[in-house]
Chains A and B, each alone.
Chain A
């Protein structure tokens, strides 16, 4: 009996499920779709090979697709979905790789992966949903000034919460 420190096939599929959602969501923009599809492939290969750097690189491609779609005017609801899906993909794939490094291919790990996936999905969708709600129900027009306030505020918060 040997320990193969690579994930089982099923774990890789679970990690890729949110990435598929992200790629489908990014179909609103052809360029984004192509970049994200490449990202999906890299994440899949990296997860199977238990390589953290490939997982991060692939998720980076997905996020590049998100930025491109956002800058080119994709609807906020779609962007919420694909951003959440990208972050969930990355954290789940990393989780799967970490489990593979600790426990190898043969250990039963499905429940742990699903719980992680569920937790990350809920949190990201919740935070993005609140922001989306604020925008959908806002009455005032967004001046560049307001936008700058919002964005700089988020940037400062992000910087403060750097984990």
Chain B
């Protein structure tokens, strides 16, 4: 082992891993942008149908020649029957072509919802989806969806009731089935064994725009469940939103960078129109009507020629991207300006652009999308505003959709900007918060007042004098009074060893709205404050993440530790603002954490408590002698039924943790962290 290894900066290992990760990311990007997908592409050409084209031309030219006076058309015996036959077959063929259009798929590119942050869900949205499926779904699946919703609500009610009444689950199940768990007859009936809500009645209600019985009943159940949960009041809940323009869940298409050329099939069926005009024209012309429909048919032929004559546009584009601020603070608005130049010699008649906004960044103003026509050598620019978030966020290539004049041919490409654009944003937080920790300490002097008597400030106890006690701590008043020697003991003040744990699992990427910062963002901000203030108070502090990406910073004291922790929070892949893809095994993570933790360590966990696994991990650690304080940013909403259920479930989780002796700070993220900590401290000292 080299001397370097012994005295290695604990941050450097992580830095190395980080650099490796970034290099890998760059390689992957290069590989991806080089991928050319399924390019099966042929511009329409006369050579597709040479025989038809030739015969058509000959016949049409002969007709035209006859029109201008040349006698080339043989005087064929065009009887009424023949003309009618041609006319009818043209009409039938035309109609067939139009019908065929109904079965032709329109092919085009799909664009992702780059405006949203990809990584955030609203707690309870899965229940809302199930509920919507039970009301608006297909008739075959509706019955199943309805049963599914009821069963999920039953399970939730059983576990909440059991916990609130401190009774075993079997008893709670009987109470729910019998309807004895609540005074509200509607709610009791809904979850009882003989519940029956008419699906047909609900369909009628939803058709006439009224709320369905299923949703009003589930709301009644949730009000009763909220009454069981400590610290919740259903009267505070938001009214249901009717704003359809703001989806609570993101509809995101995948970000695979397909490079495809395709025919859109947009004009298929055009022949049908022409044939119809021809058929009707022959029919009408036969009774000596001026052949206006010939002109109509010629116009349609012109449109077809328009489609045929256009050629696929060249893809020679240069993209530049500018950011209005180089080092923005989190939450600051940054204007992104994209400049696109047509470097080919041809006009691009239809150019559509969707900028590659980084997944963790959301657009707050303007649109990252643009459509225009672009002359050769011309440059256009468009701009939009994003909200800066902590970390490094490289922009993805611009998705480009190019079409010819008629829109029949389409090319989809992804063009990277000439120099890579990265939105970098450092944490900007100052911390002089006093963070309350459990009285489990190391044997070093610090600021946590312990129950051990010794030297200190606050009086602990008085005991008989023993040889060796310092003179300054002898109770001289007592000596003067009674002649007995006694020693004053003060509460010793020790330093604590604290590991700050940030919940960055996929489950923690929740927010009250899809366009709000996620709970992980709040957790990271809180972790930064906690680390800095504990370090300032003389404690030794470490940092770890609950995430598939391993992150571990050994507990230490000193000014550099806060900086090290902050650099991890800003740069480590576990905290980069993207929902992790990998699987996370709570039990393994918890066991590994226990091995790494110093025996006298305690934990501060920042977690939204959005699922039961978080609670299990905390209870395990707490039970094994690592006292835990949970700092929980509240990411629940209360506008819909599912969101309310998630709110009730989170309240029950907090109550379960508190019963296990875990301190929980329930942080309403609209208010500063200090307020939540003060409130929690009052509660603990009461």
A contacts, CB < 8 Å to B: 1-4, 52, 56, 60, 63, 66-67, 69-80, 83-84, 87, 91, 94-95, 98-99, 101-104, 106-109, 111-112, 115-116, 119-120, 123-128, 130-132, 134-135, 137-140, 142-163
Q: Is B68 touching A139 in the complex (CB atoms < 8 A)?
A: yes
B66 surroundings in chain A (CB, below 8 A): 140, 143, 145-146, 149
A161 surroundings in chain B (CB, below 8 A): 44, 46, 53, 271, 301, 304-305, 307-308
Nearest CB in chain A: distance from B350 CB, A: 6
A95 surroundings in chain B (CB, below 8 A): 350, 407
Q: Is B69 touching A162 in the complex (CB atoms < 8 A)?
A: no
A2 vs B364: C-alpha distance in the bound complex, in angstroms? 9
Q: Is A134 touching B64 in the complex (CB atoms < 8 A)?
A: yes
A109 surroundings in chain B (CB, below 8 A): 370-372
Nearest CB in chain A: distance from B110 CB, A: 8
A3 vs B514: C-alpha distance in the bound complex, in angstroms? 13
Q: Is A135 touching B268 in the complex (CB atoms < 8 A)?
A: no
Using known A-B contacts A94-B407, A127-B299, determine if residue A104 contacts B369 with beta carbons closer than 8 Å: yes
| B573 on the A face (CB < 8 A) | no
A142 vs B289: C-alpha distance in the bound complex, in angstroms? 10
B263, B270, B295, B300: residue with the most chain A Cβ atoms closer than 10 Å = B295
* Closest chain A residue to B347, Cβ basis: A115
Nearest CB in chain B: distance from A7 CB, A: 11
Q: Is A151 touching B297 in the complex (CB atoms < 8 A)?
A: yes
Q: Is B83 touching A163 in the complex (CB atoms < 8 A)?
A: no
Using known A-B contacts A70-B292, A74-B292, A149-B73, determine if residue A162 contacts B270 with beta carbons closer than 8 Å: yes
Report the interface size for chain B: residues with CB under 8 A from the other chain. Answer: 103
| B29 on the A face (CB < 8 A) | no
A63, A74, A104, A150: residue with the most chain B Cβ atoms closer than 10 Å = A150
| B278 on the A face (CB < 8 A) | yes
A4 vs B407: C-alpha distance in the bound complex, in angstroms? 22
Q: Is A158 touching B55 in the complex (CB atoms < 8 A)?
A: no
Nearest CB in chain B: distance from A115 CB, A: 4
| B382 on the A face (CB < 8 A) | yes
B373 contacts which of A66, A84, A112, A126 (Cβ < 8 Å)? A112
B350 contacts which of A60, A71, A115 (Cβ < 8 Å)? A115
Q: Is B59 touching A108 in the complex (CB atoms < 8 A)?
A: no
The tally of CB-CB contacts under 8 A between chains A and B is 328
Among the 9-residue stretches B167-175, B196-204, B280-288, the one with 4 or more Cβ atoms under 8 Å from chain A is B280-288
Of the A-B pairs whose beta carbons lie under 8 Å apart in the complex, a sample of 14, sorted by A's number, is A1-B115, A70-B280, A71-B283, A79-B295, A98-B108, A99-B352, A102-B369, A103-B354, A116-B350, A128-B295, A131-B298, A135-B67, A138-B67, A151-B63
Nearest CB in chain B: distance from A20 CB, A: 18
Kindly list 4 other residue pairs between chains A and B, CB separation below 8 angstroms, not including A3-B115, A163-B268. Answer: A63-B276, A111-B372, A142-B67, A146-B67
CB contact list, B357-376 vs A, under 8 A: 362-367, 369-373
A102 contacts which of B285, B352, B366 (Cβ < 8 Å)? B352
A149 surroundings in chain B (CB, below 8 A): 59-60, 62-63, 66, 73
A126 vs B305: C-alpha distance in the bound complex, in angstroms? 11
A91 contacts which of B247, B295, B407, B515 (Cβ < 8 Å)? B407
A63 surroundings in chain B (CB, below 8 A): 273, 276
B67 contacts which of A128, A132, A150 (Cβ < 8 Å)? A150
* Closest chain A residue to B51, Cβ basis: A160
B109, B284, B294, B366: residue with the most chain A Cβ atoms closer than 10 Å = B294
Q: Is A107 touching B298 in the complex (CB atoms < 8 A)?
A: no
A106 contacts which of B297, B367, B372 (Cβ < 8 Å)? B367
A52 vs B267: C-alpha distance in the bound complex, in angstroms? 12
* Closest chain A residue to B368, Cβ basis: A107
* Closest chain B residue to A78, Cβ basis: B292
Annotate B394-406 by CB proximity to A: 1 below 8 A, 0 otherwise.
0000000100011
| B113 on the A face (CB < 8 A) | yes
Nearest CB in chain B: distance from A54 CB, A: 14
